[in-house]
Chain A
Amino acid sequence: MAEHAHAMDEHHYTATGIDNRKLAIWTFIGSECMFFASLIGTYLVYKGRDVIGPKPHAQWLDKAGQLQEQMLEIPLVTFGTALLLFSSFFVVLALSGAQRGNRKQLIGWLIATIFCGVFFVGMQVYEFNHFFHRGMGYTTNLFGSTFYTLTGFHGTHVTLGLVWLVSVLFVALKGDLPPEKSLNLEIAALYWHFVDVVWIVIFPVVYLIR
């Protein structure tokens, strides 16, 4: 009975019956939807309006008059996308472990999630570096500005999500994430799923639609 009362104290329920932290993260996610909508909208309105190269989906002439291949590399990004999708699967398994008090499952799947996230950020760093060395800076053309802004903000969100998940991992390793505190991971997981759903939109809009 006392344990049950303690568990209830850990949850800060509002008049709606929903924990206030959960309601807060969903409201924050809602505001983030509008933030990314403005970035995606800006990318779309400038799409295909470049006067000079580099071009995302077509060959282009560089300053020396040499013909260059399209900028975007689909296979690498597809692999990164698949890893990000699987990271969402791994984090729900970690949450399931936390809710059932299975510490081994919680830590194992959380590490797998972080590994996928690190690879995704690494993929983006490689991509940005590769594009820069192929002559696409932030101010080179409209595609460069809108591409770096949109995917860069998403990458920043993934990085922040990773910092959050790593901090939760440390708490779990210390043994301070019992089932009654699993909401701490659930909130971090909701943010992680959000960066995943944003990428689900960005991937076709930027990489697959010509």
Chain B
Amino acid sequence: MDAAAHAEHSHPGWQTYLKIALVLFALTALEVAAYEVVERHSPAAFATLLEPIVVPVLLILSAFKFALVAMFYMHLKMDGKLLSGVFSFSLILAAFIISALMVIFGYLYSHAPTVNQLK
């Protein structure tokens, strides 16, 4: 009981929170910069290099930001494994829902007859 109460109040200080905020801000700036480089195709050499990998880059940056907020601001890093387990399990189910929808609709788009074929 005491351990739980202690864990609840052993959150990081404002310096750590500020560092996390600045990292989140920098990562958001990187995301937008990656989008702008590809969108404007400038600088051209970098845009050519970035264009094929921009989607995974954006998703990785987003996942990193997500993890930082969950671990430090939502205190999952300090609050014990049960809460992390509850959240991780729901995230796995969420990823499964998105994947299942994409697979089902991908199959539908590639195999279902078109309106013209049905006429």
Chain A: residues with CB nearer than 8 A to chain B?
A: 8, 11, 13, 16-19, 22-23, 26-27, 29-31, 33-34, 36-38, 40-42, 44-45, 49, 74, 78, 81-82, 85-86, 88-89, 91-93, 95-96, 99, 183, 186, 190, 193-194, 196-197, 200-201, 203-205, 207-210
Contacts and interface: CB of A to CB of B under 8 A. Distances in A.
Interface of B: 1, 3-5, 8-9, 11, 13-14, 17-18, 20-21, 24-25, 28, 31-32, 34-36, 38, 54-55, 58-59, 61-62, 65-66, 69-70, 73-74, 79-80, 82-83, 86-87, 89-91, 93-95, 97-98, 100-102, 105-106, 109
A31 B97 CA distance: 12
Contact of A34 (B9, B69, B94, B105): B94
Given A37-B95, A44-B102, A201 B66 contact: yes
Contacts of B79: 18
A85 B24 CA distance: 7
A86 B21 contact: yes
Contacts of A210: 38
Contacts of A194: 74
Given A30-B86, A99-B9, A210-B38, 17 more contacts: A16-B82, A18-B82, A26-B83, A30-B90, A34-B94, A40-B98, A41-B98, A45-B102, A85-B28, A88-B24, A89-B20, A89-B24, A96-B13, A196-B69, A197-B69, A197-B70, A207-B35
Most chain A CB within 10 A, of B24, B38, B109, is at B24
By Cβ-Cβ distance, the 10 closest A-B pairs, closest first, are A30-B90, A37-B94, A41-B101, A89-B21, A45-B105, A17-B4, A41-B98, A37-B97, A204-B58, A208-B35
B101 A200 contact: no
Given A26-B86, A81-B28, A17 B1 contact: yes
Contacts of B3: 17
